[in-house]
Structure 1
């Protein structure tokens, strides 16, 4: 063996490795994005989901792809996040698409549909029923690329200053309620108001509002509603599960390297799963604390539930008759919902119902 040749070969290999490694690293660009959240920092689960995405992306790219998360109002208000992402004021935003049904009611399908599907059913439609493809096709006209990035689970029906015993008690009631739920409640006599999270408590305290809905016990406790309203109603039938999304400016999305796209989508998928898991854990504790503070839990009266269901599907039919984009998504969503309800009626619901019946029984 010629020792000099071996050493020479080893030296060349080492030199090649020294050149190749930096070349690979340098091939990954350094990218800095701003993410406008629709939520204040006090809402640790919703604002925190955006932060979770940013941290995961940074860690997976050796800090070469960084997203700086800004709370509502720091760059734009909660209800201006879509506009800011469209026009490039920010590269992306973390928000509920249903905030923007004033632009087109089709946005609601990305978040939730009143009297629609629960979390698992919605996720199934989005990922295996064509829902995500339909929403991306729809939002292309708004210059954004959406990614599911969170879930709240079924929400509460909100805080009321007075007890609601029938639909008659809703007449003229001023309620903060966002999305399509507000339009449905309006048909029941409510006067809906759309306010960002940070503006709700002052309005309720001053009496500008008679009732508010926001999310569930964990978030509602942080926002302090218990201090000014004692009746807490359920269920929040307008949100059997609410999915926040990461909306990305289309131009910025197209510029991303393929591996950065994959990392960002994976981070959003993780946030989608972890967000609802965190809420399921937190809400169970928060509802106990709220009851301990004197909160009166109440189910919505039967006539409110039945009439709101009828009004919801009547409204969807009216919109579909005049909005081709809405109809296209609604037809897909409706067909998927029907088969999901059949399956859940066979296995999931009987299991849940029996287990809940046994709560508190001797084992």
Structure 2
């Protein structure tokens, strides 16, 4: 059944990756949302890793708005795939410009490589901007020790990009840095991460680094994590928008089912559609208003505003759509169970709404934007 829902997003995805949506749609949700999901393999096959890579490095260099479109479609087809792909894309966009990263991104586009994002460390209420993982000077490079969890794409990754705290050789000050580590590097181990059943196809695991040696040109300094410089502004701006679009996609998958099955009243269906379309329009507006790479705290604040608004909307829409789909879908088929549970995960991505309340309040009242 054809609908006028997600029209632009589907058109963008078909133009960039002809046949991808149909291929994903032909795979049962239970298979896509399993620990042996073929989702990441399918996305790799269609050239998905190149989506946000600059054109002069062989990539598609999709505008941020088109990145949002693709992520929404992926979320509607497979929440797990959307989450994992989002982490890859945001890592690509956050790469600081230098010969080493340009070479890496060229390889990503040419060879369809995946970059895993190692920023989380599984410490409740802790800032992702103050990693416990340390890099110590060792010979002509650095030696890394620590744990990254949760880390998506852990099984399919070709490279791990990990946040570390280093002592700058130039200033002697501690600062945040980004390390690029090939997946087959000695001393890097992937471990299971409990028995969590949410987003199983995202390959979310624990990655342990023990005396991992990284050369100088694979470490990029990001500065004082409390200072929202251009590099960190880009990280937050792009991540908040892209991850929000991914979960708008998850809720969209439920609403698609409501529309196809004509569940609920006309008023209820249009309310669900209207809420998601309004949220997507807000994400696109913020994406168009700010250029990634700019030192723009207002752009980051706006990205956070729409992310937290999306968080509330996605949870409400997913719950209502699940109710309309009925108990059989929820308890027997597992489709709405999977999607409704996955939609709640947006609340757990950093920075938490509660953690940002006071920093955003101070910013609105005229102070600097300081990330907790």
TM range (shorter): under 0.3
**TM-score, structure 1 as length reference:** 0.27
Per the normalisation by structure 2, the TM-score is: 0.27
- Tell me which of the two structures has the higher relative contact order, counting C-alpha pairs closer than 8 angstroms and 6 or more residues apart: 1
Larger Rg: 1
